[in-house]
Structure 1
C-alpha cells in the first residue's frame, strides 16, 4: 500500500520530470523542480508547472515552501507564502492533481526559471481537526487548483 509520495502526471510522462528528493538524511523538504522554463516579470507572478502530483493519507497535507536560495538570492517568494496540497487534490478530475508553484518576483528585473531548477520544497505534515468539524461529511473535491470552497 502506498502511503505518501510523488508521481508524474499523465500529460508530463514523456517530459523528463524528476521525482522530488531529499538532499540529506536530516532534510525535511523534498526539492521540487520546475518542469518547464518560465519567465517571471519584475513584480509579476507565474504558476510554475512541476509535472507532479502527490499522494498522502487522510489527516496529512503537503506544504510547498520556497527554497531559501530562491528567496534570498533572487528575490522570489511564493504568492501564498506556503502552498497547501490536500490529500484529495491527488487525481482530482479538474487537473489530475498537478502541483503548480505560484511564484512572485519582488525584484526589479525579470527572472527566468529553467526546467530542472529546484524552486520549492515539499514537506509532508500531519494536521489536527476541530471537535465540531463536519468536512468529512461534505462533497468530494471536483476541481483542480484553488477549488475548495467554490460556490460559497
Structure 2
C-alpha cells in the first residue's frame, strides 16, 4: 500500500457536489489551482470568506502556502486580505472544520463581484520549512480557522 505523502481531498460537507481537486495546469507550474466550491457575491469594500471545499494533507515539516491568482486583482478588484494563507500540516482533519481551506478575499472595488462555483481563485504551493534548535512546541491543534489565538 502506498503511503500518503501530500495531496488533496474533498471535505465531507462537499462530497458528491462536483468539487474538483486542485491541480497544476502545466509541468512548470509551482501552484495547484483552487476553485471556489460555491457561487458567492462579494460586496464592495468588504471582506468575504470563500470556501474551496478542499483539505490538504502533507508531511509534518511542510506547509501549503495559498496565494491569490494574479487575475483576481487586476481583472476583478479582489485581493487576499491576509496576503499569503498558511495551511499547517496539523490543520488537516481538525475537529472544527475538517481542515477545509478558505480564502479571505477583500473587494477593493466599488461594485459587487460574483465568483462562480468552479472559478479558479487561488493557487497553493507546498514547501518544506525549518525550525530552530530549541524548538520544543508540544501543543496539539484542537480547532480550525484562527484556533491558535489572535
Say yes or no: TM over 0.5: yes
Aligned equivalent of 2:81:
79
Match of 1:14 among 13, 16, 21: 16
Q: Which residue of 2 aligns with 1:144?
A: 144
Q: TM-score, normalised by structure 1?
A: 0.94
> Can you give the 5+ residue segments of structure 1 that lack an aligned partner in the other structure?
none
**1:7 alignment partner, SS class:** strand
| Cα separation, 1, equivalents of 2:77 and 2:135 | 39
What aligned pairs does 1:110-129 form with structure 2 within 5 A after superposition? Answer: 110-129=112-131
Question: Unaligned 5+ residue runs, structure 2?
Answer: none
Deviations 1:80-119 (A, max 9, x none): 0000000000001111001011111111111000000000
Among candidates 40, 46, 49, match of residue 48 of structure 2: 46
Stretch moving more, 23-32 or 69-78:
69-78
Spell out structure 1 runs of 4+ moving beyond 4 A. Answer: none
Does 1:107 pair with 2:100? no
| CA deviation after TM superposition for structure 1 residue 146, in Å | 1.2
TM-score (norm 2): 0.96
> How many matched pairs?
148
CA drift at 1:148: 1.6
1:61 aligned residue: 63
Classify the secondary structure of the residue corresponding to 1:14.
coil
Aligned partners of 2:132 and 2:77: how far apart in 1?
37
Q: List per-residue Cα deviations over 1:110-152 (Å, max 9, x = no partner).
A: 10000000000000011111222122xx2210001111236xx
The C-alpha deviation readout for 1:61-80, integer Å capped at 9, x for no partner, is 00110000111111111110
Report the Cα distance in structure 2 between the residues aligned to 1:29 and 1:72, rounded to whole angstroms: 19
